[in-house]
Structure formats: C-alpha cells, structure tokens
Chains A and B, each alone.
Chain A
Amino acid sequence: MELPEIQLEQVTVSFEDRTVLTDITLTLNERRIGVIGANGAGKSTLSRLLNALVIPTSGTVRVGGLDTSKSAKQIRRDVGFVFQNPANQIIMPLVADDIAFGLKNIGLSKSERKVRVAQTLDELNIGHLADRESHTLSGGEQQMVALAAVIAMQPRTIVFDEPTTMLDLRNRLRFQREIAQLPQRAIVITHDLEILEDFDRVLVVTDGIIAFDGQPADAVDHYRQWSHV
C-alpha cells in the first residue's frame, strides 16, 4: 500500500483566547507514528489537523498533496479517525448499520455495503457482533466496532486519539494487537508507552510545540525526564 505523505507547514492553531499549537512544521511518511505528551499539550488538536477536523489558523496541512482547508471530504475518505470515547462514535442503533454508515457517504450501493460490512467484521473477528444493539456492547467491543467502521472505508491512514484510555487492561492489550497488525499507516496518540516499542517514529508534544521527534526509546526517555518535575 502506497502511503500518502502528510505535510504540516508552519501550522499555528488558536481558538478564541489561546494558542494551542505554534508554528509546527512536519513531514509524516512513516508507517507507525506515535504522539505522546501531557494532557492539554496539543496532541488532540494535532491529530485532528490530519483529517481536517481542525483547520490551521495559519499555515497549511497537506495530505497526499491535498490541502485540508479545501478538500476535507476527500481527505476524510483516506484518513480515518478513531476517537477516545468508544460509545460516542457509534452513531447507529445496530452495529451493522453503524459500519455501513460511512459507506453510504462514499457512494457504495446497498449490496456493495453489505459485502464490505461482512468482510470488515470478518477481518477483525467480530462477525458475532453484527446484529447487536450498540448500547449493549462493552467498551472494548464498542472500540472494535468503531475501528471496523473506520477500516470499512478503506483509508490508507488511521489516526487514533487515545483509543485505549477508557478501556480495561485486557481490551487495551487486544486493541494494541489490532493496531500492530493493521496494513494501514497508524498515527497513535497514547499514554501507553509500551506499544510504542515497535513504532518508526514518536513525537513528544509539550505546550503546543514538538519538543522531541525521533526514535521511540529516546522519545519516551525525553518525556519521562520532562515529567519528573
């Protein structure tokens, strides 16, 4: 799978009264990228720049050459997003319908949707959840369904904003294994420093800037030292 290059050029993001990210310039090419940092440092905002949920106040973000401020819809087909809260990203009462939702938006026919949903559920070994009502799922199951809904749209990049923070240990480990096996590029914001071991690159975000950018082990060291205040 050829992965589109993600470029941030002098990106600053400000909301009303405060500046969240300052003058960020980055080129993301790698297959496994981690983002760590203290809460409120700007990680969530950074992740949302990648699928045009947040548009820069100044500077540009380009995904595969497309400008996020102009081609949001197109970019969102290629960059999926898994949110922190498992329950609030499942939007349909029935699991199968939820996974099919994004597919309607990209124009698949009813029969095509059915096939794609079944395939995706199979890939993640959650075929047994297809007819369940969304509110009866456990947190771990919901997060798997959320992942399925994203994967079904066949993006080449998936951004994860603290996907395991609200899960118990067993589900956390299971989800980490799923991420490790994904053929797509994964950009993961996380507090679970262990999963970053096999990653290609890790960014440390502190007070709205990239304080460290490099190998996982070094990044984690940097972050640990910074946290020992």
Chain B
Amino acid sequence: MIAGLNTSYLAKLPAGLKFGALLIVSIGLYLIGSWQILSVLLILSVIVLLSARVNLRQLRMPLVTLLLILGIVFVSLGIQTTWDSALVSVLRLLTMCMFAYAVSLTTTFDAMLELFQQVASPLRHVGANPAQISLGLSLAIRFIPELKRVYLEVREAQHARGLANNPLAVAVPLVIRSLRIAEDTAEALEARGYDSAEHSN
C-alpha cells in the first residue's frame, strides 16, 4: 500500500489536510441514511481514486478481502434487519474505504509517519523521546524482512525433523534467535555512539 510514486494532484496536498478531510468525510457518511445518496458518494469516491492515478494493482488484495467481509456483513444485516439498512451499511463502508485508499495511496509513508509524530508530539511532555521513537520505527522496518527470513529458516530446519507444523518447535527457536538479534543490534548501536539518554537525533 505504499504511495511511492504517485504524482497526482492529491499527492501534492499536505498529509494533515487529507487525513483531516478523511475523518470529516467519515463522520459525515455516518449521518447519511439513504442508499441513493450513498451510491452517488461511492461513485464520487471511485472517481477521486481513479483521478488520482493510483496504482490499482496494489488495491487488488485488500479490495478482495474487504469485499468478502462486506458481503458477509450485507447478508447478515439483511437477514437480521432490512435489506435497505444492509445496503446503506455496505455502501457507507465501501465509500469510506475508497476515500481512505485515495489518501493512503497518495501520501508517502514518510509523510504519514511525520503526521503521526506531529500528532503525538504533545507526548513529549510525558517523557517520550522522539529520537528513540524514530530509531524504534526504523529498526522495526529494518528487521521485518530479516525476521520473516528467520521464521522461514526455522520452519525449514524443523521440517527436516518432521516438526514444521509444530508451533512450539517453531516458536521457541524464532523467539530465541530474535532475542539474540536484539542483543547483537543493541551492542552495535552503542558501539556506534548511540546514546539513548540524549535527544541526539
């Protein structure tokens, strides 16, 4: 879902503006109870999405999952209450998600993070250290593919012993190796002069 290369008019808007607009639109959608109006808004949201020239292929999986969930919601709600309210609920959710995709796919990851950090900056007064937070986020991103690899390696190793599907045989080595990685990395950080007590970044 990363909005790497979007260059449309939406990409040029500041992240905070888009996020705020999304929140307002979402609240607004809950105040509308007519499926006709919601249908129009849904079409509008799709137009916005398409006009922003987003990479539609990125939406394939999430959209399929979403439609599946909404399908179940539609049927359950229809049976329980009325088909009218089921339609309203599903149209509303779909529209909201479309607008949300439009924001997510036209805002770079870095811009989103910066927005969150701005929103969270009051927490500084409660003791949160921005440099530490920034490092934590970068470290997490750095090691996601690494840990995925460790997991697959552990499973393969256990596969040879017939234990690939034994949760314990996979989870314990995974955790131990992860703790080891953490300790090595902490050493490397300190060796390079990282001083967690300072706002050094």
Instruction: Tell me whether A176 is interfacial, beta carbon within 8 Å.
Output: no
B193 touches A83 (CB 8 A): no
**A101 contacts across to B, CB distance below 8 A:** 192, 194
B192 touches A105 (CB 8 A): yes
B185 touches A76 (CB 8 A): no
B189 touches A80 (CB 8 A): no
A76 touches B192 (CB 8 A): yes
User: Scoring B residues 116 to 138 as 1 if CB is less than 8 Å from chain A, else 0, what string do you get?
Assistant: 00000000000000000001001
Chain A interface: which of B13-21, B68-76, B81-89, B140-148? Answer: B140-148
**A76 contacts across to B, CB distance below 8 A:** 190-193
A91 touches B191 (CB 8 A): no
Q: How many chain-B residues does the 8 Å CB contact rule pick out?
A: 23
A105 to B200, CA, bound (A): 6
Instruction: Tell me whether B201 is interfacial, beta carbon within 8 Å.
Output: yes
Instruction: Tell me whether B47 is interfacial, beta carbon within 8 Å.
Output: no
A92 to B146, CA, bound (A): 12
Q: A88-B181, A91-B139 are in contact. Are A53 and B200 (CB under 8 A)?
A: no
A83 touches B184 (CB 8 A): yes
**A149 contacts across to B, CB distance below 8 A:** 192
A135 to B139, CA, bound (A): 12
A23 to B184, CA, bound (A): 27
B195 to chain A, nearest CB (A): 6
Most buried by B among A83, A97, A135: A135
A85 to B143, CA, bound (A): 14
Instruction: Tell me whether A211 is interfacial, beta carbon within 8 Å.
Output: no
**B193 contacts across to A, CB distance below 8 A:** 73, 76-77, 102, 105-106, 153
For chain A, give the interface size range. Answer: 20 to 34
A182 to chain B, nearest CB (A): 17
A97 to B135, CA, bound (A): 12
A87 to B188, CA, bound (A): 11
**A153 contacts across to B, CB distance below 8 A:** 192-193
B183 to chain A, nearest CB (A): 9
B64 to chain A, nearest CB (A): 28
A138 to B142, CA, bound (A): 15
Instruction: Tell me whether B187 is interfacial, beta carbon within 8 Å.
Output: yes
User: Scoring A residues 152 to 164 as 1 if CB is less than 8 Å from chain B, else 0, what string do you get?
Assistant: 0100000000000
Instruction: Tell me whether A59 is interfacial, beta carbon within 8 Å.
Output: no
A135 to B150, CA, bound (A): 12
**A12 contacts across to B, CB distance below 8 A:** none
Q: Can you name 16 A-B pairs with beta carbons within 8 Å?
A: A53-B191, A76-B191, A76-B193, A77-B193, A81-B191, A87-B181, A89-B185, A91-B142, A92-B138, A93-B141, A101-B194, A106-B193, A133-B145, A134-B142, A135-B146, A150-B192
Q: Which residues of B contact A (CB under 8 A)?
A: 135, 138-139, 141-142, 145-146, 149, 180-181, 184-185, 187-195, 200-201
Q: Give 12 A-B pairs besides A53-B187, A93-B141 with Cβ atoms closer than 8 angstroms.
A: A73-B193, A76-B190, A76-B193, A91-B135, A91-B185, A104-B201, A105-B192, A105-B200, A135-B145, A135-B149, A149-B192, A153-B193
